[in-house]
Amino acid sequence: MISVNKNYANLKDSYLFYKIAQKIKKYTEEHEGAYIYRLGIGDVSQPLSASVIRALHEAVNDQAEKKTFHGYMPECGAPFLREAIAAHYAKKGVNLKTEEVFVSSGASDELGDILDLFDKSSVALVTEPAYPAYVDANVMAGRKILHLPSSEENGFLPPPPSEKADLIYLCSPNNPTGAVYTKEGLRQWVDYANENKSVILFDAAYEAFIEDPSLPRSIFEIDGARTCAIEICSLSKTAGFTGTRLGYTIIPSELNREGMNLNAMWVRNRTTKTNGVSYILQKGGSAVFTEQGQKEVRELISVYKNNAKRLMRAFDEIGLPYFGGKNAPYVWVKCPQNLTSWGFFDYLLEKICVVGTPGSGFGQCGEGYFRFSSFASEEDTEAAAKKMVALLKK
């Protein structure tokens, strides 16, 4: 008889965003015609930009002609896209070789897949509150997890602990708190990882939301990161690719552990386990890194930034303490009236059809907090902000 992966029995009953979707489904079944203001999962509402759409159309046309048709793409990414991403990093002052850039089908897929590089015995460290997939992917693999809680006292940016860990998850700008590490804050983690021979998995999915020029947008802005870090990024939130799927991963050529080179290992992994991302998507993605594409990215992001400002104005009016929102698309709010995170979720859904994400879904230390996403449409954000003021202002 086959033996199944029993680690699945150690997972929570359902994944956070699935549980939210189920609650919304139940509510709308019971309240016919109810319109839900979705400020929960960070799913974008603005369409892909003009340059991306044009590049996608052109790529579809290429696939229709014998002369320009493409079959399999290189497993680690098309050279035109890998080069465009490396050139984009060079503008941030980070020099990368083209072979250090791997094109992926998105950050969440990659955050799970990359675990193939590490032995089951490695201890994962997750700074919490955290994107729940970091924990779940390691529970599925049967890895020991150190939960490092953060709080208002350390600005939701915990420094490295005294215990040793092997695989360190850092997300900056942070999902869900919106906190962003300074260069000095990240340097402490880089030093810790180099000293302990650990590897940092740096989730940079929200880097495009950083507006303070002193804050690092890549871990490779920190000296020493090339010998201890992998950066995982995505076009989902930057350029509206949540439903289109495209991301990239940076593995420096100097990243070695136990005599093995992690860049070479990932080439071996990708060439075995994937047949590359489609030509059409990679063409669309490469348009993001052109001058015009970057201008359009800034326009897209300004819509979400205005939404975040609108939400923060509402919380100011209500008198609810909040964090994030400035260099990140998420506003992290303290629940009112001593409500639990799920208590506040139910209250908002029942009373005004507004959906957010309960903080406790991001780890125990998120209890009593609540995350609002700025990725909804301007109209829905405006309406939700007004409804929350009317409901919660004393």
Contact between 359 and ligand MLT by CB under 6 A: the answer reads no
Angle at 208 between CA 76 and CA 202, to 5 degrees: 55
Report d(CA 323, CA 156) in Å as an integer.
Answer: 9
Stretch of 35-43, 53-61, 220-228, 380-388 lying at the interface with ligand MLT (CB under 6 A): 35-43
Selected binder of ligand MLT within 41, 267, 352, 389 (CB under 6 A)? 41
Contact between 24 and ligand MLT by CB under 6 A: the answer reads no
User: Judged by CB, which is closer to ligand MLT: 38, or 143?
Assistant: 38
User: Judged by CB, which is closer to ligand MLT: 174, or 294?
Assistant: 174
User: Judged by CB, which is closer to ligand MLT: 252, or 361?
Assistant: 361
By CB under 6 A, how many residues form the interface with ligand MLT?
A: 6
User: Judged by CB, which is closer to ligand MLT: 175, or 381?
Assistant: 175
Contact between 174 and ligand MLT by CB under 6 A: the answer reads no
The distance of closest approach from Cβ of residue 64 to ligand MLT in the complex, given in angstroms and rounded to an integer, is: 33
CB atoms within 10 A of CB 299: 12
H helices present in the chain, as ranges = 16-30, 50-62, 79-91, 107-113, 132-140, 183-196, 236-239, 262-273, 279-288, 291-318, 341-352, 378-392
- Tell me, rounded to whole angstroms, the distance of Cα 252 from its chain centroid: 21
CB atoms within 10 A of CB 72: 9
Which residue shows structure tokens 């593995």? 251
List the interface residues with ligand MLT, window 211-240 (CB under 6 A): none
The distance of closest approach from Cβ of residue 302 to ligand MLT in the complex, given in angstroms and rounded to an integer, is: 19
User: Judged by CB, which is closer to ligand MLT: 43, or 75?
Assistant: 43
Contact between 131 and ligand MLT by CB under 6 A: the answer reads yes
Structure tokens that stand for 171 in this block: 């997300």
Q: Look at strands 354-355 and 330-334 and give their pairing.
A: unpaired
Q: What is the DSSP string of 229-273?
A: EEEEEESHHHHS-TTT--EEEE--TT-EETTEEHHHHHHHHHHHH
The distance of closest approach from Cβ of residue 371 to ligand MLT in the complex, given in angstroms and rounded to an integer, is: 8
CA distances to 47, 97, 135 from 252, in Å: 33, 8, 25
Stretch of 23-31, 41-49, 247-255, 293-301 lying at the interface with ligand MLT (CB under 6 A): 41-49
List the interface residues with ligand MLT, window 133-172 (CB under 6 A): none
Q: Using CB atoms within 10 Å of the CB of residue 218, give its burial: 0 to 12 exposed, 13 to 18 middle, 19+ buried.
A: buried
User: Judged by CB, which is closer to ligand MLT: 192, or 202?
Assistant: 202
Q: Using CB atoms within 10 Å of the CB of residue 253, give its burial: 0 to 12 exposed, 13 to 18 middle, 19+ buried.
A: middle
User: Judged by CB, which is closer to ligand MLT: 44, or 199?
Assistant: 44
Stretch of 40-48, 121-129, 140-148, 289-297 lying at the interface with ligand MLT (CB under 6 A): 40-48
Closest among 337, 349, 331 to 388, alpha carbons compared:
349
User: Judged by CB, which is closer to ligand MLT: 43, or 83?
Assistant: 43
Which residue shows structure tokens 């360190």? 168
User: Judged by CB, which is closer to ligand MLT: 108, or 294?
Assistant: 108
The distance of closest approach from Cβ of residue 140 to ligand MLT in the complex, given in angstroms and rounded to an integer, is: 16
Contact between 108 and ligand MLT by CB under 6 A: the answer reads yes
List the interface residues with ligand MLT, window 267-306 (CB under 6 A): none
Selected binder of ligand MLT within 20, 39, 42, 127 (CB under 6 A)? 42
Selected binder of ligand MLT within 127, 150, 175, 263 (CB under 6 A)? 175
* Footprint on this chain of ligand MLT (rule: CB under 6 A): 41-43, 108, 131, 175
